[in-house]
Amino acid sequence: MIEVTNLVKRYGDHTAVDHLSFKIEKGKIYGFLGPNGAGKSTTMNIITGYIASTEGKVVIDGHDILEEPEQAKKCIGYLPEQPPLYFDMTVLEYMKFAADLKKIPKSKKMSMIQEVMDMVKISDMKNRLIKNLSKGYRQRVGLAQAVLGYPEVIILDEPTVGLDPKQIIEIRSLIKDLKEKHTVILSSHILSEVSAVCDYVLIISHGKLVASDTPENLGRLAEGSNNLSMLIKGEKNVIREGLDKVEGIKDISLEESSEENTWRVKISTEENMDIREKIFYSMAYVQCPILEMQSKKVSLEEIFLELTEGDGNSAEKDEEKAPGQENQDVTDSAEVHDVNETASEISEEDSGDFQEEDRDMVNAENTENGEKGE
Amino acid sequence: MTAIYKREVKSYMTSMIGYLFIFFMLVLTGIYFTAYQLLAAYPKFEYTLSSMTFAFLIGVPLLTMRVLAEERRQKTDQLLLTSPVSVGEIVLGKYLALVTVYGVAIAITCTYPLIMSKFGEVSFKTAYTAVLGFFLLGCANLAIGVFLSSITESQVIAAVLTFVFLFAFYMMSGISSFFSKTSVSTCIAFGLLIFALSMIFYTMVKNIIISAAVCIVGEVALIIIYVINSSFFEGGIQKFLEIFNISGHFDSFTNGILDVTGIVYFLSVIAVCLFLTIQSISKRRWN
């Protein structure tokens, strides 16, 4: 349906979209997910032909957006971030204008406008001036404009921004209804929205596609790595040997804690299984008391954050690693040590959730490096 | 195109601005008509129109300032540019709507020679030739306004720019008399112009070799022409600036001449300005 290959958009030195490629298939709802400034709107503006790309190609239903813009644009209904409304028109006038722009035949025009207005529930407002409408109604008029003419693809840029919770639910169910006849692409920086509405999620960060999958698969990915954080008293070797006997552990990391002869142990399990009891008995067997145990599920949100925010860092790291392979372990361990220090400093001051998360990430890095060292 | 045309005309007629423009033109015509035709009993309507060319300096910016600038500011251009309508159709639709509003004022003005004919003998041919010339002059000015509105998203900047350009064009015959008519000074002026143009060319293509080559080729050609036939350049600055003397091309219409070069000139101005408008909108998409 839509094929995007190697899309690049540069504004001077700034690269807003960086070699983005993906395919959109018929009859599904796609979600563009990414933090603010990730390049979602730019990508949508390029797909709809509002701005041109620096490099790359967009083909819609076999029509290249630059070579055959009119045929390509006919397949698309677009609701930009700010609904493109003329404030001096009434809703009905605006809908008629949009119908004429889309070259809808006169015979179908009025019935189609009525249908679409009923669909988004703006029929009562049809004689009101758009400038007198509330934000929610303006959004609906914009949506009606995008749906008008029943184009094959409907592209919605942050359709629920600025709406009240009731309106959000209504708009979402409306989008779900659109799925029957149309392919829908919507963008959002709200994860719950995307996972509630979309069949397929494309996560974009710094203009790059960092992940694309169904929300279920992304969720499974999240469930796959459960974490346990424990505080265990005893000898380091004894604890490690004891833990090695427990099945289903993927990663173990041990680090000294502030208390004497106690260790902060981080475990990530392989599958969605509960091994807390096993660990308890195993530790009891080697006589190392567990002082604290916390089970933590990695949510979809954390994956999203890690993918979008961590992405820049990991890329930099890779570049750093590439030239000097020999010094790698030294520099890395030093780096991690520094981070650990700051992390523990922070947690001493304030042991909020956020810091804990930070530390978790650091620990994950730590184990990664440890494995490589071996 | 018809969709945009209809919307624009309707928008001028539901807001103040269309009426304000027509009101402004009719008040000025009325004042001059009263002074020359009704009180002084002068039978030539051309005379009234030729005194009125300054009206465009205020009227045109008033009408054209919002035409594309506002579209961009309100982001409604996203709707137009993502619909299956070409940029040319958008610009043409908007331009024709402006011409329609202006045409309403002209149509009312067309009744004035008829009123005069009630009281004496009037040459309809010369009067309506002048009306045609006046209409084309206005259309050319509107095209300039449309182009200047497309390069900015601020209505105020668009209005000021349009006024400044129209004023400079209006004063062009005076401005051109500032310059010396000798072939040496003309040659130097053209040399500087070629240099300036190649500098602009450089900012666009960012290639020093090509722009330097263009500059050198131009300057050398200029010197060769000067050496072969120096009298070629006499009064050259004036001839060059005459191109921009838009209202000057209206003069022969006021003398009752159906000036074909004038008609071609006005149509060319319109075509060039609308072409530049399309280019400036398309260029923005690539930035």
In the numeric block, which tokens belong to residue A345? 């400093």
Of B7, B78, B287, which is closest to A50 when you measure between CB atoms?
A: B78
In a shared domain, residues B88 and B125: yes
**Set of chain B residues whose Cβ sits within 8 Å of the Cβ of A86:** 7, 11, 74, 76
CATH second-level architecture of A226-296? 2-Layer Sandwich (3.30)
In a shared domain, residues B160 and B201: no
The answer on pLDDT for B82 being more than 60 is yes
B235: alpha, beta or left? (left if phi > 0; alpha if psi -120 to 50): left
How distant is the Cα of A65 from the closest Cα of chain B, in angstroms?
10
Q: Return the closest-CA partner of residue B25 out of B1, B50, B60.
A: B60
Question: Tokens 């000015």 — which residue?
Answer: B141
**Set of chain B residues whose Cβ sits within 8 Å of the Cβ of A88:** 11, 14-15
* Cα–Cα dist A165/B46, whole Å: 67
Mark which residues 44-83 of B lie under 8 Å from A by CB: 74-83
Question: Tokens 């009859």 — which residue?
Answer: A27
How distant is the Cα of B63 from the closest Cα of chain A, in angstroms?
17
Count of CB pairs separated by less than 8 Å, A with B: 69
In a shared domain, residues B55 and B144: yes
Residues B78, A80: C-beta atoms closer than 8 Å:
yes
If residue B224 lies in a helix (H) or strand (E), which one and from where to where? Answer: helix B208-228
B8 compared with B234, residue with greater pLDDT: B8
Which residue type is seen at A272? N
Task: Give the tens place of pLDDT for each residue, A25-81.
Answer: 888 899 988 888 888 899 999 999 899 888 899 999 889 988 888 889 999 999 999
Task: Give the tens place of pLDDT for each residue, A39-48.
Answer: 889 999 999 9
Residue A337 confidence class, pLDDT cut points 50, 70, 90 = very low
In a shared domain, residues B131 and B194: no
Q: What percent of chain A has pLDDT over 70?
A: 76
Tell me what the pLDDT averaged over chain B comes to.
Answer: 90
Number of domains in chain B: 2
Task: Give the tens place of pLDDT for each residue, A141-161.
Answer: 999 999 998 999 999 998 888
Residues A88, B14: C-beta atoms closer than 8 Å:
yes
Query: DSSP states of B126-159 as a string?
Result: HHHHHHHHHHHHHHHHHHHHHHHHHT-S-HHHHH
Residues B3, A69: C-beta atoms closer than 8 Å:
no
In the numeric block, which tokens belong to residue B236? 């050259």
In a shared domain, residues B187 and B146: no
User: Is A294 near chain B, with CB under 8 Å?
Assistant: no
**Set of chain B residues whose Cβ sits within 8 Å of the Cβ of A71:** 84
How distant is the Cα of A101 from the closest Cα of chain B, in angstroms?
6
Residue range A318-347: average pLDDT? 39
Residues A50, B85: C-beta atoms closer than 8 Å:
no
Which residue type is seen at A87? F
Residue A357 confidence class, pLDDT cut points 50, 70, 90 = very low
In a shared domain, residues B117 and B53: yes
pLDDT at A347: 39
pLDDT at B185: 84
Residue range A238-247: average pLDDT? 84
User: Is B3 near chain A, with CB under 8 Å?
Assistant: yes
Residue B257, in any domain of the structure: yes
- B220 Cβ neighbours under 8 A, 6+ residues apart: none
In a shared domain, residues B137 and B220: no
Residue range B8-35: average pLDDT? 93
Helix, strand, coil in percent for chain B, rounding step 5: 80, 0, 20
How distant is the Cα of A45 from the closest Cα of chain B, in angstroms?
9
Residue range B160-164: average pLDDT? 95
* Cα–Cα dist A326/A348, whole Å: 35
Task: Give the tens place of pLDDT for each residue, B89-141.
Answer: 999 999 999 999 999 999 999 999 998 888 888 889 999 999 999 999 999 99
* Cα–Cα dist B11/A131, whole Å: 14
User: Is A131 near chain B, with CB under 8 Å?
Assistant: no
Judge contact between A42 and A17, C-beta under 8 A: yes
Which of A71, A101, A143 is the best residue to mutate to test the B interface, defined by the most B CB atoms within 10 Å of its own CB?
Answer: A101
Sign of the dihedral through C-alpha A131, A136, A138, A141: negative
Of A51, A80, A102, which is closest to B84 when you measure between CB atoms?
A: A102
pLDDT at A208: 86
Residues B79, A145: C-beta atoms closer than 8 Å:
yes
**Set of chain B residues whose Cβ sits within 8 Å of the Cβ of A48:** 82
Angle formed at CA B251 by CA B248 and CA B253, multiple of 5 degrees: 130
For residue A123, count other CB atoms closer than 10 A to its CB: 15
Residues A93, B10: C-beta atoms closer than 8 Å:
yes
pLDDT at B275: 96
This complex has an ipTM of 0.86
The answer on pLDDT for B1 being more than 60 is yes
**Minimal-distance CA residue of chain A relative to B7:** A97
In a shared domain, residues B250 and B230: no
CATH second-level architecture of A2-220? 3-Layer(aba) Sandwich (3.40)
In chain A, alpha helices (H): 40-47, 69-74, 91-101, 106-119, 135-147, 165-178, 191-197, 215-224, 236-244, 276-285, 300-321, 328-349, 353-373
Judge contact between B138 and B106, C-beta under 8 A: yes
Residue B228, in any domain of the structure: yes
In the numeric block, which tokens belong to residue A260? 């004497």
Judge contact between B166 and B144, C-beta under 8 A: yes
In a shared domain, residues B22 and B60: yes
- pTM, two decimals, is 0.78
In a shared domain, residues B114 and B223: no
Mark which residues 102-141 of B lie under 8 Å from A by CB: none
Residue B79 confidence class, pLDDT cut points 50, 70, 90 = very high
pLDDT at A155: 93
The answer on pLDDT for B19 being more than 90 is yes
User: Is A52 near chain B, with CB under 8 Å?
Assistant: yes
For residue A113, count other CB atoms closer than 10 A to its CB: 23
pLDDT at B223: 87
pLDDT at B119: 85
* Domain boundary assignment for chain A: 2-220, 226-296, 334-368
pLDDT at A299: 62
* Cα–Cα dist A188/A194, whole Å: 7
Question: Tokens 């954050």 — which residue?
Answer: A305
Residue A302 confidence class, pLDDT cut points 50, 70, 90 = low
Structural domain of residue B105, as residue ranges?
Answer: 2-172+245-286
Residue B21, in any domain of the structure: yes
Torsion of CA A307, A312, A316, A321, to 10 degrees: 0
pLDDT at A267: 82
Residue range B75-97: average pLDDT? 93
Residue A350, CA atoms < 13 Å, CB-side half-sphere: 6
Residue B178, in any domain of the structure: no
The answer on pLDDT for A349 being more than 50 is no
pLDDT at B156: 94
**Set of chain B residues whose Cβ sits within 8 Å of the Cβ of A78:** 78, 82
* Cα–Cα dist B121/B113, whole Å: 10
* Cα–Cα dist B130/B221, whole Å: 42
Judge contact between A258 and A292, C-beta under 8 A: no
In a shared domain, residues B27 and B97: yes
Residues A50, B286: C-beta atoms closer than 8 Å:
no
Angle formed at CA B183 by CA B180 and CA B187, multiple of 5 degrees: 95
Highest mean pLDDT: which range of A215-229, B52-66, B232-246: B52-66
The answer on pLDDT for B58 being more than 80 is yes
Residue B239, in any domain of the structure: no
In the numeric block, which tokens belong to residue A368? 């990664």
CA B81 to chain centre: 26
Mark which residues 164-183 of B lie under 8 Å from A by CB: none
Task: Give the tens place of pLDDT for each residue, B256-283.
Answer: 888 899 999 999 999 999 999 999 998 8
